[in-house]
Structure 1
Amino acid sequence: MSMKMLVPMEVGICCVDLPALSRFYQNVLGFTFVAQVHMPAAAAQQVGLSEGGYSVVRLQTPYGERIKLLAPERAPTRHEQGLILDRQNASYLTFIVEDIATLVADLKHAGASFFAGDAPIQLRPDVKALFCRDPEGNVLELVEYADIAAYRPDLLNDRSA
């Protein structure tokens, strides 16, 4: 038996400055605000998230995926050493975008830092990519496909009609 998902997957991101990171994802990456709630310490401890309480902001993409920005009452420690896949438990968010180059200036202005310069790398003839960190160090991958319909025909075949 496999898990039966009812809605698109959501990703939780631990953060320190909830308002600032929320603005970054909304203003630079185009997420929309859904809700903000506070969880008391007792609930946070029971579920295994934090010794203290935390606040969470839910943000959504135009396609329905959501991220949850979680700010614990006690600030988390920062771990950003080495290359992405040189760390166990490494993770990153991937955004498939129309034009990476036009997004770079907005990312820089909003406090993003880049791994190998701010120019997209041509991975294959039809694929460009760029890795950066959001203002709190979370890793983001931006990918641009020359033919997005070839990459995700399950989602995009209806658009050409």
Structure 2
Amino acid sequence: SILPPDIVVLDAAEADRDFSARHSAKSKIYIYRILQGYIPDPFERNYSWNIHKELDTESMKECLRMIEGTHDFSAFRAAGGPPVSPVRTIYEASLEKKGRIVELKFFANGFLYHMVRNLVGTLANVGMGRTSVQRFGEIMASLDRNQAGATAPAQGLYLYKVNY
């Protein structure tokens, strides 16, 4: 009853004393939404990143296949994050088109600070033709954040699920 109306609790259970919502997670799923096209959508304005261009989603899908598996994601790590290992395992990275919305899904054992938004910023460059699929692979292998794209805006990012 004290939660805001945009949060709904479906189930609750008592947790162990050493439980941490952040550190006890076994895996997470993030979704990032991009609205493509020149005509803005006032209903999506706060809930997706509007890119004023049709994206090459097939090239973006090729890049998503590259990030699946266990890799060092230093190229997509933001400054200011905690000093943790940059190695993560992405179990699934996918793209689905829903009308003008491009929905990117990332399912992994964990994520670095701003990792999803940095990946999306670089993937968007591929989708807009600014970066080739081959260059995306080179950026990932470089482990150099300065070579990757800009951080995508926050309004398209959603923490979809946390598995404990």
TM bracket, shorter-chain basis? under 0.3
Structure with more contact order per residue of length (Cα contacts < 8 Å, sep ≥ 6): 2
Which structure features the higher share of strand residues? 1
